[in-house]
Amino acid sequence: MEKLILDGNKVANAVKERLKERIFKLKEQGVTPSLVTILVGDDPSSATYVRMKGNACARLGIDSQKIHLPAETTTEQLLDAIYGLNEDKNVHGILLQHPVPGHIDERKAFEAIALEKDVDGVTSWGYGQTALGFGIFPSCTPAAIMKILEHYDISVSGKHAVVIGRSPILGKPVSALLLNENATVTTCHSYTKNLPEILKMADIVVAAVGKPNFVKGEWLKEGTVVLDAGYNEGNIGDVDYDSCFEKASAITPVPGGVGPVTISMLLKHTVDSAERTLQI
């Protein structure tokens, strides 16, 4: 069986290439798409992610600003910063880098982001609209997974998709997006019994569990499409790549799979938001 490597870099480059003309037209009308990232504290991984997003913006001509708040920032101080960005007409996207220090009410901070600037799809309002099929900005990693499937002409209609993980910004929204595309969706989690038996029935597997090499090839049936949304220390995904590669008809690598497309979807949503300001 011929194996299809789902190359996220190719998909991301295709998305960004289509954005270039849209950004050029926006600038002709006096609008520069602008993304502001809020980083609270000094987590090195978060700082790296913020820098990567800033570099990606710069390469496309999107204005990128970073607000770096000290670790001792209170929830109220963070909310004030978000409210100020909500009111700034020159800001089109707001991204609060996850995770924030434990003393901050992260959910309250997410909910403070204006829906029209929630380009990372973290608000409950945005999630609800996504689940109902008319959301403006789905969470970026779920959106990336759907974009990869679309790019490689992999239809999910009528297929059995198994999502491992139920986080509010990955497992749950990607389950909703797959359901909206007429997949039959099983969402598994830490309380799921007989996970290997469930995976044996899957046509599509989305691994979003946060455990390195968790999904084993012997759990899969021949020809499964595997999308690994995990990223663990040492550039290791949530699936055991070598054993899953043997069973899969198509599979995303880690790195170079879902990750680059996630960033490209963040850029796309920022441009989408900037274009919407011209329609108001």
Query: Using CA atoms, how far apart are residues 107 and 169, in angstroms rounded to an integer?
Result: 11
Residue 105 annotated as catalytic: no
- 255 Cβ contact partners less than 8 Å away, ≥ 6 residues apart: 231, 235
Which DSSP category does 101 fall into?
A: P
Strand partners, 188: 164
Q: In this structure, how many other beta carbons lie within 10 angstroms of the beta carbon of residue 91? A: 21
User: Given the structure tokens 């990606």, which residue do they identify?
Assistant: 56
**Catalytic option among 16, 53, 159, 172:** 53
Strand 204-207: give its sheet, edge to edge. 4-5, 248-251, 224-228, 204-207, 160-164, 184-188
Query: Using CA atoms, how far apart are residues 125 and 94, in angstroms rounded to an integer?
Result: 15
Query: Using CA atoms, how far apart are residues 242 and 251, in angstroms rounded to an integer?
Result: 10
Q: Which tokens go with 119?
A: 């380009």
β-pair type (34-40, 204-207) = unpaired
**Catalytic option among 7, 16, 97, 272:** 97
CA neighbor of 130 nearest in space, from 88, 165, 180, 92 = 180
Query: Using CA atoms, how far apart are residues 56 and 264, in angstroms rounded to an integer?
Result: 8
**Catalytic option among 7, 16, 118, 120:** 120
Residue 53 annotated as catalytic: yes
Query: Using CA atoms, how far apart are residues 224 and 250, in angstroms rounded to an integer?
Result: 7
Q: What is the per-residue burial (b if ≥16 Cβ within 10 Å, else e) of 163-182?
A: bbbbbebbbbbbbbbbbbbe
Residue 120 annotated as catalytic: yes
The alpha carbon of residue 161 and the mean position of all alpha carbons in its chain are separated, in whole angstroms, by 18
Active-site annotation, residues:
53, 97, 120
